[in-house]
């Protein structure tokens, strides 16, 4: 696809939670063992009145102040599973907040950990079809608002955060191919029950995030290698042709296991979950932004992005880093 990633910015809330915070609420937790398994030292927590749209606005404004004018934004796609309202569309609220033109396309994508790759496919398709020239792909979630403070499975992992990516048309094919898939039979393995119309009448059950960790892990170990190998086949490439792998930053356990399953060189797999945590759909663009800030990518680098998780859903793509970035 003749589309390029022009720039990426992100926003993290000011409240930072570490092992001491977990221990204060859960004296019986063995924090050292938890951190050794997850690899996550810090998580970012949105304020009580801070929403996904608020965070998305913070991230997007960084791009509007430095990379693109509001009138040149043709679309805004907001990837979120914690919208401000069941309706209207949160992306429409964001469009108004950012004072973007009313001819700007605005819509939400309800996906989690695979959401950035799916959003990249959608945005790239719009640009390639000639419907738009440039726009914003924004990932923002506040999962921590749905997590019980005593939940040993979810609380040590998830962070709140937002990332905004500027996509533009390009003279070269820089994004693709894509490998996308879903398996809805695992929908109840990572879920917030009583949060939608299906169980709206159930007022006795709290809207809390539930994750069956073992099932999600087994799904990941099964599908991620298949996704990577399928993507390599589509691109007619080998593992050695990829300069950098950026996986969804689920946890140390997950990424280390993927590395072993695929026999990947560790120096080709970027991680930043240690100090950011699992920010759901924002993990991959946040990682890319950190890589760019550290000048970790050269023009022409082949980068594989792979997201996976809630749904179940997965998506991968290859990005050739061009001079536009």
Instruction: Choose the final residue of a domain: 146, 171, 196.
Output: 171
- Indicate if 244 and 161 belong to the same structural domain: no
Q: Are residues 132 and 249 in the same domain?
A: no
> Of residues 154, 248, 289, 317, which has the active-site annotation?
248
Final residue before a domain boundary, out of 171, 196, 218: 171
- The CA distances from residue 97 to 67, 94, 113, 133, 289, in Å, are 18, 5, 26, 21, 24
281 and 108 Cβ atoms separated by less than 8 Å: no
Q: Which H helix or E strand runs over 313?
A: strand 313-320
- By C-alpha distance, which of 59, 95, 93, 63 is closest to 76? 95
**Alpha-carbon distances of 229 from 176, 259, 318, 321, rounded to whole Å:** 14, 13, 12, 21
pTM of the model: 0.95
Closest CA to 138 of 170, 175, 98, 174: 98
Per-residue b or e along 26-61, where b marks 16 or more CB atoms closer than 10 Å to that residue's CB: beebeeeebbeebbbebbbbbeeebbbbbbbbbbbe
Whole-number pLDDT of residue 201: 60
204 belongs to a structural domain: yes
Of 110, 111, 112, 109, give the one whose Cα is nearest residue 123.
Answer: 109
* 200 and 305 fall within a common domain: yes
The rounded mean pLDDT for the chain is 94
**Residue 150 pLDDT > 80:** yes
Cα–Cα distance for residue pair 287/257, rounded to 1 Å: 19
Tens digits of per-residue pLDDT, 265-305?
999 999 999 999 999 999 999 999 999 988 878 888 999 99
Whether residue 197 is predicted with pLDDT greater than 80 in this model: the reply is no
Q: Tell me if 318 sits within 8 A of 193, measured CB to CB.
A: no
| Residue 293 is assigned to a structural domain of this protein | yes
Does residue 301 contact residue 292 with C-beta atoms inside 8 Å?
Answer: no
Q: Is the domain of 146 the same as that of 241?
A: no
Catalytic hit among 113, 154, 227, 317: 113
CATH of the domain at 100: 3.40.47.10
Q: Does 192 share its domain with 166?
A: no
pLDDT of residue 95: 98
Over range 168-189, report the average pLDDT.
94
Q: What is the mean pLDDT of residues 163-183?
A: 94
d(CA 43, CA 140): 15
Exposed/middle/buried for residue 217 (C-beta within 10 Å: 0-12, 13-18, 19+)? middle
Which residue is catalytic, options 58, 104, 278, 289?
Answer: 278
- Single out the residue in 141, 171, 201 at which a domain terminates: 171
- Total of domains in the chain: 2
Domain shared by 129 and 183, yes or no? no
DSSP 194: T
Question: Residue 244: what pLDDT?
Answer: 96
Buried b (16+ CB within 10 A) or exposed e, 219-243: bbeebbeebbebbbeebeeeeeebb
**144 domain residue, yes or no:** yes
Check whether residue 225 and residue 313 sit in a common domain: yes
Q: What are the pLDDT digits (tens) for 228-244?
A: 999 999 999 999 999 99
Q: Is the pLDDT of residue 325 over 50?
A: no
Domain of residue 266 covers 176-320
What's the rounded mean pLDDT across residues 164-193?
A: 94
Residue 325 counted as domain residue: no
Tell me which residue of 136, 176, 159 sits closest to 282, measured CA to CA: 159
150 catalytic, yes or no?
no
Q: Is residue 193 part of a domain?
A: yes
Q: Are residues 114 and 216 in the same domain?
A: no
Same domain, 212 and 81: no
Judged by average pLDDT, the poorest of 126-140, 176-190, 202-216 is 202-216
Q: Is 278 a catalytic residue?
A: yes
Same domain, yes or no, for 180 and 167? Answer: no
């Amino acid at each position: 696809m003749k589309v390029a990633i022009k720039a990426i910015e992100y926003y993290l809330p000011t409240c930072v939670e570490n092992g001491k915070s977990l221990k204060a609420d859960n004296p019986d937790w063995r924090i050292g063992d938890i951190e050794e398994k997850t690899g996550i030292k810090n998580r970012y927590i949105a304020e009580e009145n801070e929403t996904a749209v608020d965070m998305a606005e913070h991230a997007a404004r960084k791009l509007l102040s430095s990379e693109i004018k509001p009138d040149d934004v043709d679309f805004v796609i907001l990837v979120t599973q914690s919208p401000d309202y069941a309706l209207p569309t949160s992306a429409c609220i964001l469009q108004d907040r950012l004072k973007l033109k009313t001819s700007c396309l605005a819509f939400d994508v309800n996906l989690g950990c695979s959401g950035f790759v799916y959003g990249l496919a959608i945005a790239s398709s719009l640009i390639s079809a000639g419907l738009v020239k440039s726009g914003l792909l924004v990932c923002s979630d506040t999962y921590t608002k749905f997590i019980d403070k005593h939940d040993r499975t979810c609380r040590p992992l998830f962070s709140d955060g937002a990332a905004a990516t500027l996509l533009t048309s390009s003279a070269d094919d820089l994004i693709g191919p894509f490998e996308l898939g879903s398996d809805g039979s695992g929908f109840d393995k990572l879920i917030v029950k009583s949060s939608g119309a299906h169980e709206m009448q159930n007022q006795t059950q709290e809207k809390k995030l539930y994750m069956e960790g073992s099932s999600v892990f087994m799904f990941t170990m099964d599908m991620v290698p298949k996704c990577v190998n399928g993507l390599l086949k589509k691109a007619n490439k080998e593992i050695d042709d990829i300069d950098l792998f950026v996986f969804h930053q689920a946890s140390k356990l997950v990424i280390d296991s993927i590395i072993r399953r695929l026999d990947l060189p560790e120096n080709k797999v970027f991680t930043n979950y240690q100090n950011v945590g699992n920010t759901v759909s924002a993990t991959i663009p946040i990682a890319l932004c950190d890589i760019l800030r550290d000048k970790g990518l050269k023009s022409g680098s082949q980068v594989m992005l792979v997201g996976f998780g809630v749904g179940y859903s997965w998506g991968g793509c290859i990005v050739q880093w061009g001079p536009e970035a």
